[in-house]
Amino acid sequence: MASRPQDSRGASREKSIYFMKIQEIKTALAELGAKPNKHLGQHFLVDKHALDTIVQEAEIEKGDHVLEVGPGLGVLTRRLIEAGAEVIAI
């Protein structure tokens, strides 16, 4: 299994994504060499309430298969997996 990206303290970056401020997201993207463009529809989910609503409305059940296009930093991906989905993210 591939290792997870780590921050400067050695902690899994994935665990802190939910709590990242916009500037922290910009910094993480810069570290990855990513330059998102809103004009191309590249947006990042930063509202926990919106995230919760998306997952709830999707009515995910254990074993559901979900195709996520443009997973970004994986915030929605992680929540879908936690809800029981098997996610393919491209």
Give every CB contact of residue 11 below 8 A, 6+ residues apart in sequence: none
Judge whether 45 is annotated as a binding position.
yes
Nearest by Cα to 90 from 65, 71, 73, 74: 71
Nearest by Cα to 85 from 55, 53, 45: 55
Judge whether 32 is annotated as a binding position.
no
Judge whether 39 is annotated as a binding position.
no
What CA–CA distance (Å, rounded) separates 16 from 8? Answer: 12
* Binding annotation for S-adenosyl-L-methionine: 43, 45, 70
